[in-house]
C-alpha cells in the first residue's frame, strides 16, 4: 500500500504473503528447477517432514488446514498463493513436520527448491533471504494463533507432568490445547479418541487416531517431527553442546564462517535465559526482549547459515581419548566432531529440604514464564534469590499475583541485582523484599499450600499460605555428563585458558587459548565456564568470540 506522503508502507499481509520482485525471482531460479504442476497435484501433505519450497511463476496453489467432518475443501483453504508468492514456513527450515497441505488448484509453473537448495539461497542471497525468513517467522506465528497443528494435552492442570510437557511444547513454539478431566467438554473431546477412566494422565494427542500416556519429551518430539536427523552429517567441524545464548551465538558465528556445525540441546533453545520474561538491558532492544523471543530469533539465524540444531538430544558423555572427539547421545547416536564448544550453562541450586522433590512442578518452580504465571493469579507468591533472574521473575509475577515476596539471604539486593530492576521493585506496592530470610519448610499434600520461612533480622519464624514458590538460587554448573574429562574448579565449572593447571594434553609450546579447556580443541563458554559473568550479553559475546579460537585449533589439527 502507499501512504499519503507517497512512501510505500508494508501491511501485515505484505510481510506474511509477499510477492518477490523479478530480480529476486531470478535469484531463486538460479538455485532451483522450473517445473509444471498438474491440477490437483499435492505438493506436500500435513505431517510431511521432507517437503520442498515452491515459488509460483503462474497459476494458483491452495494451502489447506485440517477440517471438521462435513467441511468442503473450500472451507479448509487458509491461504492462496499466486504469481511471485512462495510456500513454506519455519517447519521447512527446521526440518519439522508441515502444519498444512499444499495443492495446485490448476496447472502451475513453479520454481522448486529442495531444503538444502533453499538454505544455500538464504545464506548467499540477502535480499530474498530477508523476505523469505520474515514471511516464514510471521506465518508460524499466524499458524499458532489459528491453532494449526495444535497438540491436545489432557490431564490435571496443576500436575508436574502437565507442566513439564506444556513447557516443552510452548518453548518449542507448538500450539497447545489443554483440557482437564471434569471440564464441561472434556468427556466428549476425549471420547473421540477412545479415552476412558483407566488411562494414565497426562495424555498427549499429536496425530489423529492415537494418544500417548505421560510420554517423555523425546517421544513427543518424535511424534511431532521435532527431532533433527544427525546420522548423515559425518564428522563436523564444531559440535556445540547446549543451545543457550552462548551456544546459539557460537553456532551462528561458526556456521556463518563456513564451519559445519551441529548443536545438541536437551530441551529447548534458550537455556535458562529462555525462561526469562523480559530482558531489558540487552544491547539493541530498548523496549526489552523476552528470553524466548531472543532464543527463537537466534535459532532461525543459526539455521539460516546452515547449522543443525538437534533437540531434544542429550549428550551423556564425551570421549576425548581420540580425534575426532565423540559425543555419545542418550538415544544411542554418536556425533563425531573435530572441535567441541561446551555451552551447557548452569541450573539453579535446589533447597536442602527433604520434602522438596514432592513439590517440584507441583508449586515449586525454577522458571517464571507465562505458563507458571498463570498459576499465580491473585495469589501471594514467593521468589527466592537475589540475582537479576529473581528480580525479573518478581516484576513479571507482580502483574498478576496478589503480592510477591522476595526472600534473599543477603542484607540487600543491591549487591547482586541491576539497578533498573531494583528501581522497579522498590516502586511496586505489590513486591516486598525480605533480607536475611530463607524458606525452612514446604507444606502441602499433592501440591504446595504454604511455606515456613525465617526472618533472620527479627528472628521470627512465619508460615505463609501460597501455591507457588520460585527458586532462583545461585548457579550449579551442568557438567556432570563430562565425568572428569575436563578440568573443573572446586564448584564444578570448567577451567579455561590460564586457569588450566594440567596442560599435558597439549603439544609442546602450545597452551590453552582464552576459552580452551584442558583438552585441545574443546572449549567452554557462558555460565558453565569458571569465572564467567552470569549475564546474557556476556554469554553471547563469549559464544561469538570462541569461534576465532576454534579456527586456530582446526588449523593446528591440519
**Residues 396, 308 share a domain:** no
Of 122, 143, 170, at which residue does a domain stop? 122
Of 459, 474, 489, at which residue does a domain stop? 474
**Residues 465, 381 share a domain:** yes
- Look at residue 273 and tell me if it is in a domain: yes
Q: How far apart are CA 121 and CA 504, in angstroms?
A: 45
- Look at residue 1 and tell me if it is in a domain: no
Q: Which domain holds residue 468?
A: 349-474
Grid look-up 578440568 returns 487
**Residues 461, 418 share a domain:** yes
In the chain, the number of structural domains is: 4
Closest CA to 371 of 89, 87, 172, 140: 172
Task: Give residues with Cβ within 8 angstroms of 132, minimum separation 6.
Answer: 86, 88, 118, 121, 122
Give me the pLDDT at residue 542, please: 98
**Residues 117, 19 share a domain:** yes
Contact 266, 312 (CB under 8 A): yes
Give me the pLDDT at residue 69, please: 55
- Look at residue 284 and tell me if it is in a domain: yes
**Residues 470, 355 share a domain:** yes
Give me the pLDDT at residue 558, please: 74
**DSSP per residue, 466-499:** -S-EEE-EEEEES-GGGTTSS-B-TTSPBP-GGG
Surface-to-core class of residue 72, CB atoms within 10 Å of its CB (0-12 exposed, 13-18 middle, 19+ buried): exposed
**Residues 205, 249 share a domain:** no
**Residues 338, 193 share a domain:** no
Q: How far apart are CA 60 and CA 103, in angstroms?
A: 9
Surface-to-core class of residue 208, CB atoms within 10 Å of its CB (0-12 exposed, 13-18 middle, 19+ buried): exposed
Q: Which CATH number belongs to the domain containing residue 397 in this structure?
A: 3.50.50.60
Give me the pLDDT at residue 10, please: 43
- Look at residue 136 and tell me if it is in a domain: no
Largest CA distance in the chain: 81
**Residues 64, 50 share a domain:** yes
Grid look-up 546420522 returns 231
Q: Could you give the C-alpha distances from 315 to 240, 265, 334, in angstroms and in order?
A: 10, 8, 9
Give me the pLDDT at residue 141, please: 87
Contact 99, 66 (CB under 8 A): no
**DSSP per residue, 100-166:** SEEEESS-EEEEEE-HHHHHHHHHH-HHHHHHHHHHHHHHHHHHHHHTTTPEEEES-TT-HHHHHHH
Give me the pLDDT at residue 222, please: 86
207's grid cell: 496425530
Residues in the chain predicted with pLDDT less than 50, given as ranges, are 1-11
DSSP designation for 332? S
For 512, what's the count of Cα atoms within 13 Å in the CB-facing half-sphere?
26
**Residues 212, 102 share a domain:** no
**Residues 198, 54 share a domain:** no
Q: Which CATH number belongs to the domain containing residue 117 in this structure?
A: 2.60.120.10
DSSP designation for 56? E
SS3 244: coil
418's grid cell: 541491576
- Look at residue 490 and tell me if it is in a domain: yes
- Look at residue 239 and tell me if it is in a domain: yes
**Residues 205, 175 share a domain:** yes
Q: How far apart are CA 24 and CA 308, in angstroms?
A: 26
Of 455, 474, 493, at which residue does a domain stop? 474
107-129 in b/e burial notation, b at 16+ Cβ within 10 A?
A: ebebbbbebebbbebbeebeebb
**Residues 517, 442 share a domain:** no
- Look at residue 422 and tell me if it is in a domain: yes
- Look at residue 202 and tell me if it is in a domain: yes
Amino acid at each position: 500500500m502507499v501512504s499519503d506522503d507517497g512512501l510505500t508502507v508494508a501491511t501485515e499481509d505484505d510481510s506474511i504473503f509477499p510477492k518477490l520482485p523479478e530480480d529476486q525471482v531470478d535469484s531463486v531460479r538460479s538455485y532451483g528447477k522450473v517445473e509444471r504442476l498438474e491440477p490437483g497435484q499435492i505438493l506436500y501433505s500435513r505431517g510431511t517432514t521432507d517437503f520442498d519450497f515452491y515459488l509460483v511463476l503462474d497459476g494458483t496453489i491452495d494451502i489447506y488446514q485440517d477440517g471438521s467432518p462435513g467441511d468442503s475443501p473450500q472451507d479448509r483453504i487458509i491461504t492462496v498463493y499466486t504469481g511471485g508468492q512462495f510456500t513454506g514456513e519455519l517447519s521447512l527450515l527446521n526440518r519439522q513436520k508441515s502444519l498444512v497441505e499444499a495443492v495446485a488448484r490448476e496447472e502451475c509453473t513453479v520454481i522448486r527448491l529442495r531444503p538444502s537448495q533453499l538454505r544455500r539461497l538464504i545464506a548467499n542471497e540477502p535480499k530474498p533471504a530477508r523476505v523469505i525468513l520474515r514471511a516464514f517467522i510471521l506465518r508460524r506465528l499466524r499458524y499458532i494463533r489459528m491453532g494449526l497443528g495444535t497438540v491436545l494435552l489432557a490431564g490435571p492442570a496443576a500436575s508436574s507432568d502437565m507442566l513439564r510437557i506444556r513447557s516443552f511444547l510452548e518453548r518449542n513454539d507448538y500450539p497447545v490445547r489443554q483440557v482437564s478431566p471434569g471440564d464441561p467438554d472434556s468427556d466428549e473431546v476425549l471420547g473421540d479418541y477412545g479415552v476412558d477412566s483407566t488411562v494414565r494422565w497426562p495424555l498427549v494427542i499429536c496425530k489423529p487416531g492415537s494418544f500417548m500416556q505421560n510420554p517423555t519429551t523425546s517421544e513427543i518430539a518424535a511424534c511431532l517431527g521435532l527431532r533433527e536427523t544427525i546420522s548423515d552429517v559425518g564428522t563436523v567441524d564444531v559440535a556445540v553442546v547446549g543451545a543457550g545464548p552462548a551456544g546459539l551465538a557460537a553456532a551462528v558465528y561458526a556456521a556463518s564462517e563456513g564451519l559445519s556445525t551441529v548443536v545438541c540441546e536437551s530441551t529447548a533453545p534458550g537455556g535458562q535465559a529462555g525462561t526469562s520474561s523480559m530482558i531489558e538491558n540487552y544491547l539493541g532492544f530498548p523496549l526489552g526482549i523476552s528470553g524466548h523471543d531472543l532464543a527463537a530469533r537466534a535459532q532461525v539465524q543459526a539455521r539460516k547459515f546452515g547449522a543443525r540444531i538437534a533437540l531434544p538430544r542429550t549428550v551423556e558423555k564425551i570421549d576425548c581419548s581420540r580425534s575426532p572427539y565423540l559425543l555419545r547421545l542418550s538415544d544411542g547416536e554418536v556425533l563425531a566432531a573435530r572441535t567441541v564448544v561446551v555451552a551447557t550453562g548452569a541450573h539453579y541450586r535446589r533447597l536442602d529440604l527433604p520434602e522438596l522433590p514432592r513439590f517440584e512442578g507441583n508449586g515449586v518452580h525454577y522458571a517464571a514464564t507465562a505458563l507458571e504465571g498463570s498459576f499465580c493469579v491473585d495469589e501471594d507468591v514467593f521468589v527466592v534469590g537475589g540475582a537479576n533472574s529473581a528480580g525479573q521473575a518478581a516484576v513479571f509475577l507482580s502483574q498478576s499475583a496478589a503480592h510477591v515476596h522476595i526472600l534473599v539471604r543477603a542484607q540487600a539486593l543491591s549487591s547482586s541485582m541491576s539497578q533498573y530492576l531494583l528501581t522497579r521493585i522498590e516502586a511496586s506496592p505489590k513486591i516486598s523484599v525480605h533480607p536475611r530470610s530463607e524458606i525452612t519448610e514446604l507444606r502441602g499434600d499433592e501440591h504446595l499450600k504454604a511455606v515456613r520461612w525465617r526472618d533472620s533480622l527479627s528472628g521470627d519464624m512465619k508460615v505463609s499460605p501460597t501455591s507457588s514458590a520460585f527458586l532462583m538460587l545461585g548457579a550449579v554448573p551442568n557438567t556432570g555428563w563430562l565425568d572428569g574429562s575436563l578440568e573443573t574448579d572446586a564448584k564444578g565449572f570448567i577451567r579455561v585458558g590460564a586457569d588450566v593447571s594440567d596442560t599435558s594434553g597439549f603439544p609442546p609450546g602450545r597452551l590453552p587459548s582464552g576459552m580452551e579447556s584442558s583438552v585441545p580443541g574443546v572449549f567452554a563458554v557462558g555460565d558453565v565456564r569458571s569465572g564467567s559473568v552470569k549475564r546474557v550479553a556476556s554469554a553471547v559475546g563469549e559464544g561469538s568470540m570462541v569461534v576465532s579460537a576454534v579456527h586456530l585449533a582446526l588449523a593446528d589439527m591440519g
